[in-house]
Structure formats: structure tokens, C-alpha cells
Amino acid sequence: MGQKKITMQVIADTVGVSKYVVSKTLNSKPGVSETTRQKILFTAKQLGYFKERENGNGQSNSGSIEVENGYILVVLPNYEYQSISYTYWGAVFQGLSVGIQSKKAGMIVITSEMDLTKKVDVTNLIGIITVGTLDEQTLISLTDYQLPIVMVDHEDKLMQADSIFMDNQNGVERMTNHLIGLGHKQIMFVGQINYSRSFYDRWMGFRKAMEQAGFDECTKENALIDIRYNDDFEIYLQEKINEMMRKKTLPTAFVCANDHIARRVIDQFQLNGYKVPEDFSVTGFDMLDEEEGKTPSLTTVQVLKQVIGQRAVDRLVWRIQHTEYPPEKILIIGDMHIKESIDKPKRD
């Protein structure tokens, strides 16, 4: 007897659902719970359904959807993230736009400020990309669409989604090691570590480098300037500078959570009569375009911002075709750019 043909009905009988639910799942249509979807896709794969439906190029047609002419929902914290003047996120958004256009798909842009209970038109909607930190309620609302999700620079334990990050921990670890190699022993990290996952990972990279170098007392109390990342940053920074000057605990180097913070640190110390790198070395992270031409030029880690956006689109397209696999975190490595803002310490 010949081998039994694997049909949607066979899969439905195996899983214990209707043929209609199987059809919706294999054609990536909404309306099927994530648990049931995963079970159906896993069963179809195990039974060899996809192999039976390979086309002449050996590529599987089953379970796939047409990306071309579909729409990708892009969710931002606010509309400013689209602006190219918003140097970091504007470039990421540009990468998203280019990536989506290259797939010949459309894009719908909304913000977390919108009432997501008013459903976005899901006709031809094929997936979701979130950008930056979104509140938990927004993320929960997005799961109602039952579509693949890729999160840029954010993750949530409750979300079954892929995430794209710069390799933040490794980048700061290498930068801190470079400062240690120059002879710096008194180094502090500057940044609100609970502001974002990226800031926290950068703090962890700093701590790892310091502890591996034998600086065992690298704690929040003695190695972290945890200043709220808002419009009052300079006020709190000046208070911290006054405190360190009074206690004579000024370090020889500052590793900052991003370029924006690093430049504010440089400017604030210069207002107090200090010079960089003569008195302090300062490093950033992100390699923002707005830093071009400023003095001293900032030592930083390059973030491939447009690449992140394009990579998120590529990952979403892959995920649409491979929903049976577990979520993954993708890390993109950035190069260090050593410039004028660091030097060997002039004091112990």
C-alpha cells in the first residue's frame, strides 16, 4: 500500500481541531490562538505536510503567506520616532521603511498613544514591528491580532516575540576594557539603568569588565551615577558633580549609556572648569550624527541604526514563514570608534 497522503483533514484529526482552523493556520490567517497555531504547525511539520507541497525549486508553499502587497504594522512610542531629526530612532525608522519597501509590502504606522481597542484594519496585515520601549498594556493589545511580532530594542517576558538589539553588553564591555588598558582604575558609569533594556545591558557590560579586571567593588553605590534621563538631567548631574568634588571622589573616566549623555557630561564638567580628556576621559554609545564636528570628538560604539530597522523587517518576513520555531533574540555587533575624548589618566 502507498503512503497515506497528508492533507489538512489528516492534520486536523491528529490535532483534534477542525479543518477550517488548520486552513487558517497554514495560510497565516488571524483568529487562531497561539497555542493551537504552534501545535498545528508542529504536527504538520512532523507529518511531512510541507515536504509534500514543495514546489519545483524545493521551497515549501504551505503555511506561507504573500508578503508582497501585504501590510506591516509599525508601532512607535510617539510619532517623533519617525523624524530624521530624532537622530537615533529616525534612522532606525528609515531602515524599517527601506526594508518594507524592498519587500514590496505596505506599512501602517501607529503609536502607543492610540486607543488600540479600536482595531486596526487587519485586511492583508501580515505582521507587527514595535520600536523602542512600549508599555505592557500596549504590548498585550498587540497580541490580540495573533500575528508574528518583532520588537526593536525591547523585550517583554509575557510576549512571544523575536527581538533585535545592538550587542549592548559586549560593546560597553570592550570600551571599558580599553579604558582599563589605558590605565584607568577609577571609572564610573553614567545613565539611568532602568530607562531601557539597552541601558541596563550597557551597565552590565561595564560591571562585567570592571569585575573581570579585579575591581570587585563595582556596585551601584560606588560605580554608578544613576541620573533620571529627562530634561532635568543637567541639574541632577551638577548636584552629583558638587557631591563628588566635596568628597574628593571624582573618577578618571566616565562610561556613559549613550552619546547624548556623554556630551552633556562633557559640557557640564567644562562649565566647572575641567577639560576632556585632560582631566577626565568620557565615552558614549550610538555614534549619533549630531556629534559630527563637536570638540572633543567623542569616543563611542557605532550603532548601525538603519541596519537594525532593515534586519527587523527581514526577521519578520522569516518569522511569518516559520512560526513553529521559538522566539529568538538577535544581537548586532558595533565597532568601537576611538577619538579625542579619552586618554591615559593624568592621576591615580
Q: Does domain 71-166+306-332 have CATH number 3.40.50.2300?
A: yes
pLDDT at 57: 44
3-state SS assignment for residue 24: helix
pLDDT at 118: 64
339 in Cβ contact with 297 (< 8 Å): yes
287 by Cβ neighbours in 10 Å (0-12 / 13-18 / 19+) ranks as: buried
84 in Cβ contact with 141 (< 8 Å): no
3-state SS assignment for residue 140: helix
- Domain 168-303 sits in CATH at 3.40.50.2300
3-state SS assignment for residue 252: coil
Residues sharing a CB contact under 8 Å with residue 51, sequence separation 6 or more, in sequence order: 60
The count of other CB atoms within 10 Å of the CB of residue 230 is 10
141 phi and psi, to 5 degrees? -65, -35
Smallest Cα–Cα separation from 156: which of 175, 141, 178, 177? 141
Q: How far apart are CA 81 and CA 109, in angstroms?
A: 11
The count of other CB atoms within 10 Å of the CB of residue 289 is 13
Containing H/E element for 236?
Answer: helix 233-247
314 CA to centre of own chain? 15
Q: How far apart are CA 36 and CA 56, in angstroms?
A: 30
pLDDT at 58: 41
3-state SS assignment for residue 71: strand
Alpha-carbon Rg for the chain, nearest whole angstrom, is 25
Q: What is the full per-residue pLDDT of the chain (348 aa) written as tens digits?
A: 445 577 888 888 888 888 888 888 888 777 788 888 888 888 888 777 776 665 444 444 444 456 887 899 999 988 777 765 567 888 899 999 999 999 999 999 988 877 665 667 777 889 999 998 888 888 888 888 888 999 999 888 778 899 999 999 999 999 999 999 999 999 999 999 999 889 999 999 999 999 999 987 778 888 999 999 998 999 999 999 999 999 998 999 999 999 999 999 999 999 999 999 999 999 999 999 889 999 999 999 999 999 999 999 999 999 988 888 889 999 999 999 999 999 999 876
User: Helices 19-26 and 8-15, interaxial angle, to 10°?
Assistant: 110
Q: Which amino acid is at 2?
A: G
User: How are the residues of the chain apportioned to helix, strand and coil, as percentages rounded to the nearest 5?
Assistant: 40, 15, 45
3-state SS assignment for residue 301: strand
Smallest Cα–Cα separation from 141: which of 114, 106, 108, 123? 114
User: What are the boundaries of each domain within the chain?
Assistant: 8-52, 71-166+306-332, 168-303
C-alpha grid cell for residue 68?
A: 508582497
pLDDT at 46: 78
Residue 77: is the preceding peptide bond cis (ω within 30°)?
no
Taking the model in full, what pTM does it have?
A: 0.74
Q: What distances in angstroms separate CA 26 from CA 6, 34, 57, 58, 149, one per listed residue?
A: 13, 13, 20, 18, 17
Q: How far apart are CA 96 and CA 273, in angstroms?
A: 43
Q: How far apart are CA 330 and CA 332, in angstroms?
A: 7
Any alpha helices (H) in 28-128, and if so which ranges? 34-47, 49-52, 87-102
